Copies of this chain bind each other. A is one copy, B any other.
Amino acid sequence: MTRYTGESRMLVAVDCIIFGFDGTDIKLLLIQRGLKPEKGKWSLMGGFLQENESLEQAANRVLKKLTGLEGVYMEQMKAYGEPLRDPVERVLSIAYFALIDIHQYEKQLSTEYHAEWVHIKKLPELIFDHKKMVENAKKQLRYKAALHPILFELLPAKFTIPQLQILYEGIYDTTFDNRNFSRKVLSTELLIKQKEKDKANSKKGAFYYKLDKRKYKANFQAFLNFIPNPDKLLL
């Protein structure tokens, strides 16, 4: 026996929802599709799963092809399998979402795919069911970020607490009390204070912090509560 008989085989794709933060706005990395159909339309970055490749490998390959980056935070989100989601033929898509420090990426911007960072509030129309994927990804990001410290993945290695707060406020589309926010964040003891300050954004200057990677990994699964009244903010 070498194969299962009487069953239908289909293409499997991997699509990446890539979030970035530029210090002010949360953005999504989109491309203009190079393949027919829908050539020229906006799309998530994706690719077909190859014969000898695992899903994680495929997602990383796709991400690297677009951004040049490796070792990026990425997690599997959901499989999309509506029979007609791709009009050409049956394609199952496994969506991954990735979080990137946007500045790291900008250095190696490749024009090959006509990629662009698009403000999360100003998304263009997307092909197939990509809009739904993006919506699910946003929801999942909000959900997860309310409980776990993943948003650090969107920031550079050194960042200030006000920067972090702006990021959280962007994700939840609200504002937080800065005094409570910094106290909460610091009480996790996940941050290591640096000697230098960032003076670009204020007169007083805010101290830089770095993530304590060891504690970050050790406590990743623990429930945090950076967000007041989280359940009201998750839609």
Residues of A within 8 A of B (CB): 1-4, 7-12, 35-37, 48-56, 58, 76, 78-83, 88-92, 94, 221-223, 230-231, 234-235
Contact = CB atoms under 8 A, between A and B. Distances in A.
Given A52-B83, A54-B81, A235 B223 contact: no
Given A51-B90, A234-B221, A79 B82 contact: no
Contacts of A80: 55
Number of this chain's copies in the assembly equals 2
Given A4-B48, A49-B81, A55-B92, 19 more contacts: A1-B36, A2-B88, A2-B89, A3-B89, A4-B35, A4-B89, A7-B48, A8-B49, A8-B50, A10-B10, A12-B92, A49-B92, A52-B83, A54-B82, A54-B83, A76-B78, A76-B79, A81-B94, A221-B231
Nearest to A80: B55
A10 B8 contact: no
B79 A55 contact: yes
B11 A7 contact: yes
Nearest to A10: B9
A85 to B, nearest CB: 9
